[in-house]
Structure 1
Amino acid sequence: MASNIKKSADFDEQNLEASDSEGGSFQPKAFCPKHEDQILTFYCDPCQTLVCVSCTVVEHRPGDKHNPVEISSIAVKKKEELQKQKAKVKPREKFVRAALNEVKMGLSELSTSADTAIEQATAYFDHLMAMLQDRKEEVITEIDSRRKEAGKCMETQIEVIEFELAGLKSAAEFCKQSLEHGSDVHVIEAEGQARQRVEELLAMPTDLTARPSQVVFSEGMAVADFRDDVARAGCVQVQHTGRVDASKCVVKRKPAVVAFSSIALLYTIGKNGHRCSVDKDDVTATLTDPLGQAIPTQLQETGMGLWEISYTPEVTGNHKLEVKINGRSLTMYPYDVRVQSSHAPVVTIGTWGLCNPTDIAVSINGEIAVVEAGLRRIKTFNTNGDSCRCFLVDGKCPWGIDIDSNRQFVVTFLSTGQAIRVYSHDTILFKTLRLDCLRNPTGVAVLKDGRMVVADKQQKSCLLLKPDGSFIREIGKGQLQYPWFIAVDESRDRFYVTDCRAHKVFVFDLEGKLKFSFGKQGQNEGELECPTGIRVDPAGNIIVINRDNGHLQVFDPDGMYQRTVATVKRGCHQGIALTPDGYLAVVCSHRQWGCIELYRYK
């Protein structure tokens, strides 16, 4: 075998030399790094190494571990692979080349657009300065005019006062002369004249009130406020205007409910496949109801290439939304927008595929997290119902959940050594709190400073804990029968706990004092029947759901009934949560399976 390889190598070497001597394309010979006088003529496939003839005799002898093959046969395969790689690169190369041309074109237009922007900015601020200059001249003219008016008024007043003063002096002088030089007869006659003159002078006194003596300039607008307004004057953006491709633009419809403000999201996409800005005048959105009547819409760009189309439908049913950019429709047909009753769920998440869901919480960015007790896991969704992520939790029977200000998941467990577990936003177990003071924790609420309020149905009380799980105080002992879920209103220094057996909501302050309770057992509006889930809206209103009849009701901060949002008809109901964009999420379950339903909340 070795001799055959040697002969083949000699033959290839001769052919290479002949090719070079015959004027073929020059290919430099590659020598073996271990045997410097030997040319690399073989390829050991298991080692993926080029070798020479001497290597095939020693280090790479043919056998189980080595298989030297002539370079020419391997080269054919490698050329085929190179052709495949080349074919893979071609489309991307074409796309990148087009993008490069697009950027070069944009670069060539950059100076022109910047010069135009400078001209516009110059004209804008020149106009502002001209307005200020005009106002300055108006104010100065007005100051001069007011000075003249006030001066004339005061000059007239001086004349009147001087005239009265002269009369008074004359009367006084007459009396003086009569007293000093008059005879008795003269005095008697003068007294009557003087009395008449004085009475006339005193009967018509001159207005001696001082007239305005100063012209004062008032700013009318604080310099600091004006400075802030000036700082906001003019906005500079880098836009890809004019490169939008209507065929690539996308509209995402949000759930719509009658009589509620609803939105659809428009993404304006450029020819390069990226979001780009468009002039507002180039975008139109037309919404029509089932009868073909136009519904007013508003367009607002909330980010680069992201628009909100807002509207308030007045009737239920299938509406049509048509969006045009530069007069061109985004699709061949308008988008369907289904408008539902305010008492109907606008989104159903999980579609009865959640295993024994119990509690729910929403993060500050709108991520919905639900506890699946049956599968011992936490699953998260967005408000469109799209699944975001899922992770298992350690321990049996997870039950309550809340999300703290650091977006950590705080989970209670009914039967795991009275544990509370905290998972990071990245779903990693951060800490485990095993507390002797807990027996059977259900609901949990986390305060802004990290303290926790936990309901314990076995102890029939709530516990206020430090962030590290240290006990602070027990609340509600002897007052609660079966505490379930908790909502906190820190602005009022109080928290609310549902009591499933008492059919009430109890309200305590964080010092442990019972403020009041509300609720009457019954099936009517405003009555409670095994209340479970509870939340507080930004205005302090209390939202409560009844486990069995599904009444989702709103009470004011003092516990007075306000309205019923909906009657949730699916199964029994546990935790509820309020999303930042105005939806109420309700956990529904039936025979170990369940879902999440979202209702519009105003």
Structure 2
Amino acid sequence: MAEAAAQTVLDKISQGHLECPICCCRFKDPKILDCLHSFCLNCLENMIGKQKSESKKITCPVCRRETEVPDGGLQSLSSSFFLISLVDEIHKQEQLLGKALTTCATCKSCDEGHETVSRCLDCKTNICKKCQEAHQFLKYTKDHRIIPAEELDKSRVLPADISKSVESKCRKHIDQSLCFYCESCDILICSMCAATEHRTADHKYTAIYDAIGSFRKSVDDILQKFDKSKEQLASNGDSITHARKRLQKNLAQARSDISAKAEAEIAKIRKKAKLLNEKVDQIGLERDSEYEKVLMHNRSQMERADQIVTAVNDLMRQADDFELLELKPKVMHNLEFQKELKCEPAKVDMAFIGVTCQDVVSDTDLGKLLLKEKWQLKEEFGKKGNGDGKFQCAGAVKCFSNGDIVVCDTDLKRLSLFTSTGHFKTSIAQGAECHELDDPFSVAVNCDDLLFVTDKDKVKVFDKELQYVREFTPTVDDTEGRSESDLRGIAVDKQRVAVADRGRKVISVHNLDGSLITSTSNNMVKNDLAMCNKERLIFTNDKEKRLMCVDLKGNEVFNVMTLRNGKPVSPNSVMCDDVDGSIYIAVNFKRTGNGAVQHYGLNGKFIATVAQGLFNPFEMAFTPAGNVVVADMHSVKVFDRM
């Protein structure tokens, strides 16, 4: 079983590493192309021989990269000495295994039961004389390596160190070993070459040992750069993935907005149509009533006339002359009605009613596509002052799941709660009536609607009605002798709380109950802090004008200067969008009234300025609807992300 297992291992090594990708057999005189792929010399010659054009290049069948054919032909390509030695070693080990396997005296390639006379190293089986002849006759087996059984019995091959390469000889001076490397020509040379072709001053050559040391160092340096590039590519890949997710979300939102707008416009048209129909109906009723009055009047006149005519005719037929003369005054009086008889004419013009419809949906598009993110001010509440709903310094803001907005006024040392539309609800402040607050600075709200507040050296927790719940004191080891805490920025995710301690220059990460998970020291820690779903901590330093990102172990991910119009600008705060990993910072340029919000990518690359004209923006927060709330000194602004 040991021999069989060893044979299996050798087979796997041969198939995985020692077979030419063209002929799928073990390498024979392997040559290395510029792309570092190796092939049998004979396979390369056959391949270039099939090329129609007389090109001086050969294309690698694996990666399609081209290699210039040397003037000396494919034979002049570099040989893979490692593969040559490895193939030789595998052959030797298979011979040793072949000796152990020759105990089987009958052929295993046929059912004739003939005596074994040799072994095929490629088929890994013992064969008889007829099978050996068949091997040599068939096209697919004629190149197989066949060893007589007696040679296997006599072989005494000792394992070799496969790491040793074949001794390299000079191609020009075949009896000389290669011992130098000419850096000017990028070739290995022997001592004869050094004394003849490479002896002039423009040839710089060193001993192979020194050259390989320098070469390995150069390769290591470049490989490290490769690792950094791969990290950047991976980071960019994450950014692209997040950006695509955000794109899909925004596409869905855009389609929804278009449908909503269309439905709203259709509703408006239907409402206008209803109003116009009501006007038509009203005019129709009024005019029809007018016609009805005229018709009734005329009918009444006709009936009265018929009655008089009938009565007079009856009297004139039935009464005698004396009676007629006596009744003459009455008859003539009734006949006077004829003078009053008037027929109201039909007002034909009232029968016309029409409508001239206007183009409510004109050639103007239903909407305009926005191809770059831009925030549009939706509403604003608050003004400078000390009363309810007023601010001296609105420095921190966050939103609860019901849309309520909590604002921390760092000057008034007060927390205020507002509805999503800015109506004041309640507040708590420093003082005897509220022992829970001392000097609040920053706030954060988690998915369970717990409000976390940094308050000097403590983190205090409140519910969504600003009722006190609990508190904890972040405990971390002193850093560089600084022992006095000054808690500033705070950020939360589903299970953790991150706190920026400006006094100790430490960012600590805790469980929701306050127990410490980890901490990292950083001299740039200042006021604001954010966490992203990539296990990263992002913070700003307004003095140094930097935006920085570290992982939970403190390893720097990026550190960039914040600029506006090419000039350094102070960042006041930072927040992250977990949908696509985007980073937003509020900046203030030179003076109040010139604040803005900038958009950065997951890798710290500036993307765009999305909002301008703010007074002095500090903390920001996303609303449940995806809008953005900004604490802007004396007011709170709500932006639509267009």
Do the two structures share a fold, i.e. TM-score over 0.5? no
Larger Rg belongs to: 2
TM-score where L is the length of structure 2 = 0.39
